[in-house]
Structure 1
Amino acid sequence: MKIHYVPTVLLLGSAALILLVGVGLLLKGRAVRRTAESFRSRAVAVTATVVALEAKDLSLGAEPDTRYFPRVSFVPAGATDAVEAQTLTDVPAPPPRVGEQIDVAYDPERPDRVDVAATKGDVEGAGRTWVVLGSLVLLVALGVAAAWLVLVLVVWTS
């Protein structure tokens, strides 16, 4: 069996780099999830008034999915002035109208970080995109390593 150094270095080197990217994406997903859990642990619930509604079209398939993110105004605990902020999460359908009251949770350390209270306690999806991307990248790394192994066992041994 003859070892071909250039393809070996290219394939295994690229597999190692792709593996590092995949691990980085998984770590990012973990950090996002921990941030969401930390937010939820210290969030304060309050009723806020919807002052505007922003529609965002998300298109993962053939048809777009419209999500609504309200801009709300509320007075944080211990404060006298109202805070106006865009929610970090969308509201469940049907979206509220401008002027309606909705329940939100805000970070007392940063009152401009507001989440819709309807999602309170639900951090299940936090960081999911990063984890899925990381998993797919790890599969690509395994595929590149498997391609090298096929070259070694099938092509270079004959």
Structure 2
Amino acid sequence: MSIHLAPTVLLLVSAAVVLLVALGLVLKGRSVRRTAAGFRERAVTTRATVTALEAKDLSFGTEPDTRYFARVSFVPAGAGEPVDALTLTDLPTPPPRVGEEIEVAYDPEHPERVDVAATEGRAEGAGRTWFVLASLLGLVALGIAAAWLVLVLVVWTS
């Protein structure tokens, strides 16, 4: 049995690089999740008037999925001027109409960061995209390592 140096280095270094990128994505996901949890801890709830609805089409596979985000206007506690902001999360269905009031949570340090109060328990979903991408890259790294192992055990032993 002879192990070929160039393919071995190429495959194992590639697997390590892909695994490091996956680790970076996990760290990014944790950062996003911590930011969302911090927002929830600081958030102050208030009533805001919906001034506009913005539809965003998300497509997963062949089925389009339209989500609605509200542009709202409210006066933060201790401020005299109203804040006009787009919510960070989509609205529960059915979305409210323009002119209706909804309950929102905002960051008192950055009042333009507004979330729909009805989504308060959804902070655990923050960072999920990063975690899914990291998982997929982890599988790719395992696939590369498995390809090297197949080369060692099957191809190079004959």
Give the TM bin, normalised by the shorter chain.
over 0.9
* 1:40 and 1:121 in contact (8 A); partners too: no
Following superposition, the deviation at residue 122 of structure 1 comes to 2.4
Following superposition, the deviation at residue 100 of structure 1 comes to 0.4
Query: Which position in structure 1 is the counterpart of 2:130?
Result: 130
Q: Deviations over 1:39-73 (max 9, x none)?
A: 00000000000011100000002121000000000
2: distance between equivalents of 1:121 and 1:17?
36
Query: Which position in structure 2 is the counterpart of 1:68?
Result: 68
TM-score w.r.t. the length of structure 2 is: 0.98
Q: Deviations over 1:72-115 (max 9, x none)?
A: 00000001110000000000011111100000000000000000
1:135-150 to 2 correspondence within 5 Å?
135-150=135-150
Query: Which position in structure 2 is the counterpart of 1:101?
Result: 101
List runs of 5+ in structure 2 lacking aligned partners.
Answer: none
Query: Which position in structure 2 is the counterpart of 1:78?
Result: 78
Matching residue's letter, 2:112: D
Count of residue correspondences:
158
Following superposition, the deviation at residue 120 of structure 1 comes to 1.2
Question: Is it true that 1:110 corresponds to 2:117 in the alignment?
Answer: no
List runs of 5+ in structure 1 lacking aligned partners.
Answer: none
1:39-54 to 2 correspondence within 5 Å?
39-54=39-54
Query: Which position in structure 2 is the counterpart of 1:92?
Result: 92
Identity of aligned residues (%): 75
TM-score w.r.t. the length of structure 1 is: 0.98
1: distance between equivalents of 2:3 and 2:133?
33
